[in-house]
Amino acid sequence: MNGRKGTLIFWGVASLILFCLVVIGLFVEEAATVTDFSRTNLPPSLQYPFGTDWMGRDMFQRTLAGLSLSIRIGLLTAAVSAAVAFVLGLCAATLGSRVDACISWCIDWVMGIPHILLVMLISIACGRGFTGVVVGVALSHWTSLARLVRGEILQLRQAPYMLAAEKLGVSRLKQAGRHVMPHVLPQFITGLVLLFPHAILHEASVTFLGFGLSSEQPAIGVILSESMRYLTTGKWWLALFPGLSLVFVVVLFSLLGDGLRRWLDPASAHR
Amino acid sequence: MSLEASRVTFGYGGRKKQMILQDISLSLSPGERLGLKAPSGRGKTTLCRLLAGYEKPLSGQVLLDGVPLYKWRGACPVQMIWQHPETAVDPLLRLGDTLREAGPIDPKILERLHIEKAWMDRYPSELSGGELQRFCLARALQPTTEYLLCDEITAMLDLVTQAQIWKFLLQTAEKRGLGLLIVSHSDALLERVCTRVEELPEGM
């Protein structure tokens, strides 16, 4: 078994885990909000692996539902961000120096503001909640990918083999399909996957700070910020397990991106 | 019927706005082999890029049969061979695809350039500079090509490969009446292959 096969298997397993998390989370969303005051503040046990909270909610189910929501928000925002990044990067690289200057200025402007602050401001402006978080994260995460796409296409346009193709009479469309896409697409897809962990973490932190999802939604950020009040009274399981599982999902996404990058790397493409 | 540069001035954009080429004129007729020499940094490659239509002169004109070259669309009769063949082929494309990019290549050319069939399925990183340069030559020799600009095309090759490539180029140029512009630092090479040698005057 070579490295490429191993990466592929890892990809399959990791995607399956994430997919299952999303689906299971959707199913337990109802059960996660059930309160039962006969089982409040139970430490982790076989029946309740992550324990229960002060309202008797099963923390395992709440965490699953929260992760599912986080992943869905991550997918949505990463997709929107990536689409914005691709279009703007392409425009900046191909529509002349004025458009380029304008878009580059926007990129610098958005990058100049701390991410979390920008997400908070946009989220508040959009009325918080699901919409606020999605719009906030989507509008603040496209910059680095847009810069990457722009730089890559600009560099390709000056590459001798592109110039040669042009002079040999190869049509624009064929040039784009043959030379540009194979170079840009792997970078773009990798960038897209690596956007997920950022998006998920920012969603959770904004929610944790109280500017994101509302408290009746089973979000990891909500769970963590609520548990803060009970942490000092010894209810350690309220924050530990949801926090760890968030880290687990983020690391999984990050590894997926890294694996993809290695797999699509030009140097390994024909290994 | 010739490739002509008349009073061409050119400099790359930048803060200094320094001109690299100032008032350069030269002409190349079909069947002619013009040698061009100059010390490093005087703009030999830049002149080639202008003559091939990759850049537009700031003043003056590059004319092919009386028509400004940068206006040319589709396959250009002036083809440039780059000094570094590894940059002139797409690293992600099999060489067979690179070669056929602009259209089918006469198998006789491949045979005379000693391009082996097995190389067609390889990627550029698997071949040497000399082997890649053969592909670049074959690719540039489209039926429409009338002029070849050779920018130090054999500078980094061993003597046997150099000899092979020049022998092939001279024969082909002879047969098809191609005009060659040959840029080189080697006086011996220029003396051997060119019909006329010029030195690029100093810019500003």
We report the CATH number of the domain holding residue A182 as: 1.10.3720.10
Minimal CA–CA distance to B93: which of A157, A150, A266, A164? A266
Residue among B82, B101, B123 whose CB faces A165 most closely: B101
ipTM of the complex: 0.85
The answer as to whether A117 is a domain residue is yes
**Of A85 and A271, which is predicted with more confidence?**
A85
pLDDT in tens, B52-63: 888 888 888 888
d(CA A73, CA A22): 11
Write down the pLDDT at residue A267. 61
Provide the domain limits for residue A154: 79-270
Contact residues for A223 (Cβ-Cβ < 8 A; gap 6+) = A59, A62, A63, A66, A238, A239, A242
Share of chain B above pLDDT 70, in %: 97
pLDDT in tens, B9-63: 888 876 667 788 888 888 898 888 999 888 888 888 888 988 888 888 888 888 8
pLDDT at residue A266 is higher than 60 = no
The answer as to whether A215 is a domain residue is yes
Torsion from C-alpha of B133, B139, B144, B146, nearest 10 degrees = 0
d(CA A42, CA B112): 84
pLDDT in tens, B92-117: 888 888 888 878 888 888 888 888 88
> Mutating which of A157, A161, A166 best tests the B interface, going by the most B Cβ atoms within 10 A?
A161
The answer as to whether A160 is a domain residue is yes
Give me the residues of B, 48-87, that contact A with CB < 8 A. Answer: 52-54, 74-76, 78-80, 82, 84, 87
3-state secondary structure of B33: strand
d(CA A194, CA B157): 43
Residues of B in contact with A165 (CB under 8 A): 101-102
Q: What is the DSSP string of A155-196?
A: HHHHSHHHHHHHHTT--HHHHIIIIIHHHHHHHHHHHHHHHH
The answer as to whether A14 is a domain residue is no
What's the whole-number mean pLDDT along residues B164-173? 90
The answer as to whether A230 is a domain residue is yes
pLDDT at residue B204 is higher than 60 = no
The answer as to whether A139 is a domain residue is yes
d(CA A20, CA A263): 24
Nearest-neighbour CA in chain B from A91: distance (Å): 22
A184: left (phi over 0), alpha (psi -120 to 50) or beta: alpha
pLDDT in tens, A128-137: 888 999 999 9
Write down the pLDDT at residue A216. 80
β-strands B59-64, B67-68 pairing: antiparallel
Minimal CA–CA distance to A220: which of A91, A103, A59? A59
pLDDT at residue A145 is higher than 90 = yes
Q: What is the largest CA-CA distance in chain A?
A: 79
The answer as to whether A37 is a domain residue is no
The answer as to whether A94 is a domain residue is yes
pLDDT at residue B148 is higher than 70 = yes
Rounded to 5 degrees, φ, ψ at A44 are -55, 135
Domains held by chain A: number:
1
pLDDT at residue A218 is higher than 90 = no
pLDDT at residue A26 is higher than 90 = no
Cβ–Cβ gap B74/A169 under 8 Å: yes
